[in-house]
Amino acid sequence: MYDLNTLGRKAKSASRILAVTGTAVKNAALLAAADALLAHMDEILAANSRDLEAGKAAGLRESLLDRLALSPDRIAGMAGGIRKVAALPDPVGQLVEGHTLPNGIQLSKVRVPMGVIGIIYEARPNVTSDAAALCLKAGNAVILRGGKEAFESNKAVTKVMREALAGTGLPEDCVALVEDTSRETATALMRLNKYLNVLIPRGGGGLIRSVVENATVPVIETGVGNCHVYVEQSADVQMAADIVFNAKTQRPSVCNAAESMLVDAAIAEKALPVIAEKLSAKKVELRGCPETCRILPSAVPACEEDYDTEFLDDILSVKVVSGVEEAVAHINAHGTGHSECIVTGSYEAAQQFTDGVDAAAVYVNASTRFTDGEEFGLGAEIGISTQKLHARGPMGLLELTSTKYILRGNGQIR
Amino acid sequence: MYDLNTLGRKAKSASRILAVTGTAVKNAALLAAADALLAHMDEILAANSRDLEAGKAAGLRESLLDRLALSPDRIAGMAGGIRKVAALPDPVGQLVEGHTLPNGIQLSKVRVPMGVIGIIYEARPNVTSDAAALCLKAGNAVILRGGKEAFESNKAVTKVMREALAGTGLPEDCVALVEDTSRETATALMRLNKYLNVLIPRGGGGLIRSVVENATVPVIETGVGNCHVYVEQSADVQMAADIVFNAKTQRPSVCNAAESMLVDAAIAEKALPVIAEKLSAKKVELRGCPETCRILPSAVPACEEDYDTEFLDDILSVKVVSGVEEAVAHINAHGTGHSECIVTGSYEAAQQFTDGVDAAAVYVNASTRFTDGEEFGLGAEIGISTQKLHARGPMGLLELTSTKYILRGNGQIR
Cβ-nearest to A409 among B364, B392, B406: B364
CA nearest neighbour of A331 among A210, A228, A189? A228
pLDDT at B244: 98
- The minimal CB distance from A405 to the residues B112, B212, B360 is found for B360
Query: Are B362 and A406 an interchain contact pair (Cβ–Cβ within 8 Å)?
Result: yes
Distance CA B84, CA A233 (A): 45
Contacting residues for A114 by C-beta, under 8 A, at least 6 apart: A138, A140, A197, A198, A400, A401, A402, B388, B389
In a shared domain, residues A177 and A210: yes
Q: Are residues A116 and A261 in the same domain?
A: no
How many Cβ pairs within 8 Å bridge chains A and B?
Answer: 205
Q: What is the distance, to the nearest Å, from the Cα of residue B66 to the centroid of all Cα atoms in its chain?
A: 20
Q: How far, in Å, CA of B163 to CA of B174, rounded?
A: 11
Q: Which of A45-49, A408-412, B201-205 has the lowest mean pLDDT?
A: B201-205
Dist CA A247 CA A243 (whole Å): 6
What strands lie across the sheet with B141-145, from one edge to the other?
Answer: B175-177, B141-145, B116-121, B198-202
- The answer on A186 and A52 residing in a single domain is yes
Residue A123 has pLDDT above 80, yes or no: no
A120: enclosing H helix or E strand: strand A116-121
Residue A134 placed within a domain: yes
Is B413 contained in some domain? no
Predicted local confidence at residue B305, as pLDDT = 97
Q: What is the pLDDT of residue B12?
A: 97
Q: Is residue A414 part of a domain?
A: no
In 3D, which of B7, B26, B22 has the Cα closest to residue B133?
B26
Contact B411 A243 (CB under 8 A): yes
pLDDT at A205 over 90: no
DSSP A368: G
- pLDDT in the model for residue B93: 96
Q: B51 and B169: one domain?
A: yes
pLDDT of residue A368: 98
Statement to judge: residues A214 and A340 lie in one domain:
no
Give A77's pLDDT tier (boundaries 50, 70, 90): very high
Interface check for B356 against chain A (CB to CB < 8 A): the answer is yes
Beta bridge partners of A117: A142, A198
| Per-residue model confidence as pLDDT tens digits over B287-343 | 999 999 999 999 999 999 999 999 999 999 999 999 999 999 999 999 999 999 999
The helix/strand/coil state of B48 is helix
Beta-bridge partner residues of A175: A142
Task: Report the distance separating Cα B372 and Cα B350, nearest Å.
Answer: 22
Q: Are B201 and B219 in contact (CB under 8 A)?
A: yes
Domain match, A310 and A211 both: no
| pLDDT classification of A154: cutoffs 50, 70, 90 | very high
Q: Which domain holds residue A113?
A: 4-221+390-408
Compute the distance between CA of residue B51 and CA of residue B149 in angstroms, rounded to an integer.
Answer: 6
**A137 contact B CB<8A:** no
Q: Are B284 and B261 in contact (CB under 8 A)?
A: no
Rounded Cα distance, A393 and A370, in Å: 11
CB contact under 8 A, B389 and A389: yes
Does one domain contain both B205 and B236? Answer: no
Q: Are residues A120 and A12 in the same domain?
A: yes
Would you place residue B205 in the very low, low, confident or very high pLDDT band (cuts 50, 70, 90)?
Answer: confident
Residues A178 and A299 in one domain: no
In a domain, A413, yes or no: no
- What sign does the dihedral A405-B356-A391-A210 (CA atoms) show? negative
Predicted local confidence at residue B192, as pLDDT: 97
Interchain pair A193, B212: CB under 8 A: yes
Q: Are residues A82 and A157 in the same domain?
A: yes
Residue A317 lies in a domain: yes
In a domain, A107, yes or no: yes
Q: Are residues B342 and B403 in the same domain?
A: no
What value does the mean pLDDT take over residues B137-151? 97
pLDDT reported for residue A262: 98
Categorize the per-residue pLDDT at A380 as very low, low, confident or very high, splitting at 50, 70 and 90: confident
What does the pLDDT average to over B124-140? 96
In the predicted model, is pLDDT for residue B380 greater than 90? no
Q: Do B365 and A393 touch (CB under 8 A)?
A: no
Q: In terms of C-beta density within 10 A (0-12 exposed, 13-18 middle, 19 or more buried), how is residue A209 classed?
A: middle
Contact B324, B351 (CB under 8 A): no
Q: Which residues of A touch B405 (CB under 8 A)?
A: 360-362, 371, 376, 392-393
Distance from CA of A93 to the nearest CA of B (A): 10
- Segment B69-110, tens digit of pLDDT: 999 999 999 999 999 999 999 999 999 999 999 999 999 999
Give me the count of residues in chain B: 414
- What's the whole-number mean pLDDT along residues B265-286? 98
**What is the per-residue pLDDT for B203?**
86
Average pLDDT over residues B205-215: 91
Q: Is residue B63 situated within a structural domain?
A: yes
Other beta carbons within 10 Å of B102: 7
Q: Determine contact, residues A27/A83, Cβ cutoff 8 Å.
A: no
ipTM beyond cut 0.90: yes
What are the DSSP calls for B194-253, one per residue?
Answer: TT-SEEEEES-HHHHHHHHHH--S-B--B----EEEEE-TT--HHHHHHHHHHHHHSSTT
Distance CA B197, CA B403 (A): 13
pLDDT for A223 equals 78
Nearest to A216 among B99, B213, B220 (CB): B213
Angle between helices B205-214 and B183-190 (to 10 degrees): 60
Identify whether residues B177 and B317 lie together within a single domain. Answer: no
Average pLDDT of the residues of chain A: 96
Helix orientation angle between A151-167 and A41-57, rounded to the nearest 10 degrees:
160
Q: For residues A332, A335, A336 and A342, what is the CA-based torsion angle, rounded to 10 degrees?
A: -90
What pLDDT shows up at residue A406?
98
Is residue A122 in a domain?
yes
CATH of residue A23's domain is 3.40.605.10
Query: What pLDDT is recorded for position B84?
Result: 96
Count: domains in chain B: 2
Contact of A1 with A164, CB cutoff 8 Å: no
Whether the predicted pLDDT of A178 surpasses 90: yes
A243 interfacial to chain B (CB closer than 8 Å)? yes
Instruction: Indicate which CATH number applies to the domain containing A355.
Output: 3.40.309.10
